[in-house]
Amino acid sequence: MRKIALAVHGGCGVMPEDGMSAEDWAEARRDLAEALRAGYAVLKAGGRAVDAVEAAVVVMEDSPHFNAGHGAALNENSIHELDASIMDGETLAAGAVSAARTIRNPVRAARALMEDGRAVFLTAAAADRFAEAKGLAVEPQSYFTTEKRRQALAAMKAHAAAGTEGTENEKHGTVGAVALDAAGHLAAATSTGGYTNKPDGRVGDSPVIGAGTYARDGVCAVSGTGKGEFFIRYVVGHEIASRIAYQGQDLSAAARGVVDGDLAPHEIGAGLVAVDAEGAVCAPYNTPGMFRGWVTSEGKAFVATHETIYEVAL
């Protein structure tokens, strides 16, 4: 059996460790571990990478601890607008939705659109209608709202009024997964509520193929998190793949070159998870922390939010 690999993230820009209770941090790590288990179970059974990343992201969309699905950020009008995408590195097939308001698991809608094949990207009400027509679960806006997100919106509006900056954790967050399956195929998926107090209708990098999500067999799969406008401008996922394919860089050098090099002058929060064709995994970030987890080629699983890394059972 060839190597299999999986990595997930739940967003960079983690607040200081004393910003949440020990139990809240522990619950977030437990949900990261559950995402790893869901994705790894697919891979271990010989399943496809694209199925594994979808399964992992669904777990994080259902968790209130991450900015995607249940627990997503609120925009300037106190509305949830949800973005997600998925890409199959074997065929370069992809699906994406943005500014959706009712889809319980936006990554499932992105996957359904990829399988439908008539379009790569649907937005707003059309994405919601597509998901419902495909029989996917839909929810009222209240389902996505948590007290934490209400407080974050109030805080960001106060910052805007005072002309001050919010914390990375108040601003944004994303979830994502990358995988290599036993057949050597790669896949990536990303989902987000965008950033708190974002303009109505704003779309970031998460649903933009090549920016926040990218996968190409024989090269790498990437899922990003951070200030999406810059991930779009630098086409981050594709840039990392290009450095590997055309310059012969290894995965870590390519990923860190973008996060610590290209994006550094802009002083933005940025992070990502990536896996290459040989199963190497990296998870660079430039903020105080990043919700992240991965499974080694030996089948050992780890999760982390800050510097401390915890081994978890699969």
Which candidate in 174, 190, 213, 225 is catalytic?
A: 174
| Helices 124-133 and 106-116: angle between axes, nearest 10 degrees | 80
At residue 176, φ and ψ (nearest 5 deg) are -165, 165
Q: Which of 102, 193, 105 is nearest to 141 (CA)?
A: 102
Q: Which class for 211: exposed (0-12), middle (13-18), buried (19 or more C-beta within 10 A)?
A: buried
| Both tokens assigned to 273 | 């998870």
Examine the residue annotation and report whether 296 is marked as an active-site residue of this protein. Answer: no
Active-site residue set: 174
